[in-house]
Amino acid sequence: MYYLGIDLGGTNIVAGVVDEQGNILVKASCKTNVPRPQEDLCDDMAAVALKALETAGLTKDDISFVGIGAPGAVNGETGVIEFANNFGYHNWHIVDMMKERLGVDVYVENDANAAAYGEFQVGAAKDANDAVVITLGTGVGGGIIIDGMIYSGSNFAGAELGHTVIQYGGRQCSCGRKGCWEAYSSATGLINMTKEAVINPFNADSILCKMVGDDISKINGKTAFDAAEQGCEVGKAIVEEYINYLGCGLVNMINIFQPEILCIGGGVAAQGDNLIKPLMKIIEAERYTKHNSQQTKVCVCQLGNDAGIIGAAFLGK
């Protein structure tokens, strides 16, 4: 049996054909290119899905359903994305629209929930009964597994952990609030912090500014970390500030849920020990349960950017 999962991200649409063991056989992708009409986005999702099947030597007859991980408040029962702030969509009937294009059953779940489900099925949280998965990408995604089930709240908008406020009246978030964890700890937040440092004339002689030059469009989630590794004091300050904000939010999550495992995924998590070691110092110092014998294990997700595809592919299973 084969499954097909689609990870609808803020930057890319990626579809993958997945086997029973959670191995991705082939992938296909294209740019998301939002904002644009919902119909156009569905056309591209369907095209990417069919391309992945064709590359794998399969047809729609070889799969019984397609799963989609999508951002926002996703009602998995109705197949409607009620609100996706990063896309600007309200009441998007994504399941009906994709069924029309693909001719197979379609399931949809919040993208961070799908990623958490992938890690729970075959990744870092496989042996856990309760887990929290945080994804650091365009936003800060959250996925919660309680007693082996995805927790999405009474209105399917639960686990929007990135929209908890860690700095009251702070940076503007795309959701409309100010000071959201997402505004500080997403890859986008890190990039914005790095850009602010680069355009500051007081930092003009720093290693960071020399790395970037006149083209701030080159800045990504690795730039500040790369500068810090080269001994740049400005880079080190950015990384320290970023990790402090990230650690604040992670301690909040541990104090609220006390999961067996808290997994961190997304592009920034690729920093490995450069991220995890300083984070653990913050977590160990600040978590409420520092004196308990059983503590939440904090680790990097095992599936990387494939978690959302695998989790989505298993949604109808």
- Amino acid letter, 230: Q
Confidence of residue 56 (pLDDT cuts 50, 70, 90): very high
Query: In 10 A of CB 184, how many CB atoms?
Result: 26
Contacts made by residues 303-306, CB under 8 angstroms, sequence distance 24+: 303/115, 303/118, 303/119, 303/122, 303/123, 303/124, 303/265, 304/265, 304/270, 305/7, 305/14, 305/265, 305/266, 305/267, 306/16, 306/24, 306/118
Fold of 2-120+306-313: Nucleotidyltransferase; domain 5 (3.30.420)
Each residue of 95-108: pLDDT tens digit? 999 999 999 999 99
Q: Specify the residue for token string 């997700």.
A: 301
Distance CA 131, CA 241 (A): 26
Average pLDDT over residues 57-76: 92
pLDDT at 141: 86
**Does the pLDDT of residue 86 top 80, yes or no?**
no
Give CATH 3.30.420.40 domain extents, the chain: 2-120+306-313, 127-301
pLDDT at 230: 96
Each residue of 217-245: pLDDT tens digit? 999 999 999 999 999 999 999 999 999 99
What proportion of the chain, given as a percentage, has pLDDT over 90? 81
Average pLDDT, the chain: 94
Average pLDDT over residues 162-191: 95
**Does the pLDDT of residue 164 top 90, yes or no?**
yes
pLDDT at 43: 98
Q: In sequence order, which residues have a C-beta less than 8 Å from that of residue 291 and are 6 or more positions away?
A: none
Distance CA 165, CA 185 (A): 11
The first and second tokens of residue 221, run together, are 């989630």
Confidence of residue 74 (pLDDT cuts 50, 70, 90): very high
**Does the pLDDT of residue 82 top 80, yes or no?**
yes
What's the CATH superfamily of 127-301? ATPase, nucleotide binding domain (3.30.420.40)
Each residue of 247-298: pLDDT tens digit? 999 999 999 999 999 999 988 999 999 999 999 999 999 999 887 888 999 9
Distance CA 121, CA 64 (A): 19
**Does the pLDDT of residue 85 top 80, yes or no?**
no
Q: In sequence order, which residues have a C-beta less than 8 Å from that of residue 93 and are 6 or more positions away?
A: 79, 80
Q: What is the pTM of this model?
A: 0.84
Each residue of 241-260: pLDDT tens digit? 999 999 999 999 999 999 99
Q: What SS3 string covers the chain? A: CEEEEEEECCCEEEEEEECCCCCEEEEEEEECCCCCCHHHHHHHHHHHHHHHHHHCCCCHHHEEEEEEEECCEEECCCCEEEEECCCCEEEECHHHHHHHHHCCEEEEEEHHHHHHHHHHHHCCCCCCCCEEEEEECCCEEEEEEECCEECCCCCCCCCCHHHCECCCCCCECCCCCECEHHHHHCHHHHHHHHHHHHHCHHHCCCHHHHHHCCCHHHCCCCHHHHHHHCCCHHHHHHHHHHHHHHHHHHHHHHHHHCCCEEEEECHHHHHCHHHHHHHHHHHHHHCCCCCCCCCCEEEECCCHHHHHHHHHHCCCC
